[in-house]
Amino acid sequence: MKVLSGSCVDVPCTFTHPSTHRPSEIAWYSYSSTQYPLVYSWRTQEIIEPFRGRTQLSGDVNKGTCSLRITDVKPAMNGYHLYPWIDPDHAKHTFYHKTVKLNVQDAPRSVHVSGESSTVVVGGSITLECRSNANPPASSFLWYLQRSGSISSLMFREQSITITDLQPDQNSFYCTAHSSLGVANSSSPFIISGEYQPIISSESSCIIGGRVLWCRCKVQSLPNATVEWRIEGRPPQFALSDMEEFSVLQNHTLRGKLSISKAVLHIGVTCRASNDHGQQNHTLIIKAPPQNVSITLQPSRVLEGQSLLLSCYNHAFPAVLSYSWYRDEGSGTVLLRERSENLYLQVTGRYMGPFRCSAINQIGEGRSDSTLIQVDFAPVISPNSTCSLDHGVVWCECVVESYPVATVIWTAPSVVESSQAVSVDPYGPLRVTLTGHVRSGQARLITCHATNQHGRVSLQLLLKDPSAMSSSSLVAAGCGAVAVALLTAAVFYWIRKRSQDNIAAGDFQSEPVFYRL
């Protein structure tokens, strides 16, 4: 019996019964070799799916009709063999020798694409099938392919197709099934991953940063590639460290670093990527102008009269061809004769330089910053250091030059309630002041001591007393008066002697001339 999915259908049924017995109940069953599944019964809780709630009698038992009505026919009812049982609790014979088979007609549904595998090597082939639940079966099909977000229609119209032009990465297939009752599309794609051997991008590179060589290998592959690094001239265990991996779909970027030193003049880094379908090698030869050029000192601290070695340190690939050394003088720069990596100096004076160097290779030039050489020396206390006393208050200043900066202490037994202040000028001497009060009746001895790792020096300062200065001024005034008197007498003698000489020569004057002093 053909019925449409979703329709309402009556399964016709009539019966006759003996006049001596009037049946009162009718049930419908689905044929089974072992059980009696109920399709319709007054015992509704025993009715099987998918008939529960969808069956009822459309006939009249008293008139000999036993027709079954099925509402909202479901595709799941297809293929069931149904038969009635008249008065099942009292009948002595069976009724299943005659059944009605339900043939539920339905448009295509549950459409989907199936395939032998979800992965295939690019260049290979794969067979796909468009499947659906349809009665009668779908008679024609349409196929679609989605790549990189774009959907295109294929020329195939068969249920099964063979694909040979798969592209790398994802290929998504859809299908549409057609029958005389309708059309349906597959709700989700069948994704085939086109696998291929690794491809290393030309963007892969190495960059020098400080004393570290950072390398990046960008690989495209499916399935994911295993990436190995090889460093030229080094065993495999010296490969890059601190590996990091970043993946977006089939694009995989791996980054690692290698610690290097100035002894490395030329280096090759090879990235090797491999998977089940093959491998690829990509070698990077790093070339760059000299990087991180700087001046190093040996020894790092030096005294006047010693020798000093300056080295022009750098990272260079390829090797440095020549060096230049410069000394800054005022507003100009002097190019020195030295052309090697090292500059030897004999230390004279407390400051030398500033010096600069440059390194040149085939790619370009790198320059260092200026380096001022500050020479170490033992403390020297300036004669400008002084002490003064005013109304019992002492103020002393000790001026010290040294490198490194000296530690300054005072020895002043006669000074009480003292305090000390330090003034440091990066371009001048160290100034340390002492203030306090002098104890009466004690010796006024004040000494400044300066110490660093290169020596110690002391200077006893003369305490200047203003009252002593006043007494000295009186003595000086008395001495000055005596000197004036002696000078006046000498002048008077000279004038008188000249007058006598003039008289003898006949040169007369009316009266002598006096000079007031």
pLDDT score of 487:
42
pLDDT at 442 over 70: no
pLDDT exceeds cutoff 90 at 345: yes
C-alpha 217/C-alpha 256 separation (Å) is 9
**For residues 222 and 278, what is the distance between their CA atoms, to the nearest angstrom?**
11
List the domains of the chain with CATH numbers. Answer: 2-101 (2.60.40.10), 107-196 (2.60.40.10), 201-286 (2.60.40.10), 289-375 (2.60.40.10), 378-464 (2.60.40.10)
Place 421 in a pLDDT band, splitting at 50, 70 and 90. Answer: confident
Is the pLDDT at 194 greater than 80? The verdict is: yes
Higher pLDDT, 257 or 63: 63
9-63 pLDDT, tens per residue? Answer: 999 999 887 777 788 889 999 998 888 899 999 889 999 999 999 999 998 888 8
Candidates 386, 381, 379, 382; CA nearest to 461 is 386
* pLDDT over 60 at 501, yes or no: no
Instruction: State what percent of residues in the chain have pLDDT above 70.
Output: 81
Tokens of 458: 């002391």
What per-residue confidence (pLDDT) applies to 235?
Answer: 63
204-213, 256-265, 426-435: least confident range: 256-265
* Spatial contact of 452 and 409, defined as CB atoms under 8 Å apart: no
The secondary structure of residue 350, as a DSSP letter, is S
DSSP string computed for 263-305: T----EEEEEEEETTEEEEEEEE--EEEEEEEEEEESSS-BTT
Do 126 and 120 form a contact (C-beta atoms < 8 A)? Answer: yes
93 or 129, greater pLDDT: 129
Reported pTM: 0.49
pLDDT at 451 over 60: yes
CB atoms within 10 A of CB 393: 13
Q: Please list, in sequence order, all residues whose beta carbon lies within 8 angstroms of the beta carbon of residue 83, skipping any fewer than 6 positions away.
A: 28, 29, 31, 95, 96, 98, 99, 100
